[in-house]
Amino acid sequence: MTIDQREYRNAVGCFATGVTIVTTLDIDGDRIGITANSFTSLSLDPPLVLFCVDAKISSFEAFESCRHFNINVLTEDQMDMSNNFARSNEDKWDGVEHGSGKNGCPVFDGSVAILECDKHAMYEGGDHLIMVGQVTKMTYEAGDCRPLLYYKGSYANLS
């Protein structure tokens, strides 16, 4: 049976997710960041998480060769940042306020959670690379907050 790509996207888009910006540094130390909703937790012991990176995007090589990356879990207030880091744009970082994690990769204050990772493993997954990270440091909002959600190709809110 041939699977139509549009229909396939529609079907998998029925799975509601959060939204993250995954950051790293390339071999020259330049900042790299992409919006990603493929993030998931993987293992408790050791503490592993994963996300998937598209082999066709310009940030691919930086993620393939990196040693560390950070997962910034976004709030509703960070929707503009999500849109910015979903674009292929050389000026992605212009005017974007950020700090640096202990591992040197960018972090965004105001995120629901920040997971700093050492790269643990990589696996081929069709036209994506599955990036597994071991969490070395984390912060999160203990109180009420409103995470940014993604569902059926659009942002969504917790109602």
Cβ-based nearer residue to ligand FMN, 4 or 90: 90
Q: State which amino acid sits at residue 120.
A: H
Residues within window 89-148 making contact with ligand FMN, judged by CB under 6 A: none
Least Å from the CB of residue 1 to ligand FMN: 26
Least Å from the CB of residue 58 to ligand FMN: 4
Residues within window 41-100 making contact with ligand FMN, judged by CB under 6 A: 51-54, 57-59, 85-86, 88
How many residues touch ligand FMN under the rule CB under 6 A: the total is: 17
Residues within window 9-28 making contact with ligand FMN, judged by CB under 6 A: 19
Long-range CB contacts for residues 117-124, cutoff 8 Å, separation at least 24:
117/49, 117/68, 117/69, 117/70, 117/71, 118/67, 118/68, 119/66, 119/67, 119/68, 119/69, 120/46, 120/48, 122/64
Least Å from the CB of residue 143 to ligand FMN: 25
Three-class SS state of 7: helix
Q: CA-to-CA distance for 18 and 34, rounded, in angstroms?
A: 14
Q: Output phi, psi for 76, to 5 deg.
A: -55, -35
Cβ-based nearer residue to ligand FMN, 47 or 125: 125
What does the binding site for ligand FMN look like in residue numbers (CB under 6 A)?
A: 19, 34-38, 51-54, 57-59, 85-86, 88, 150
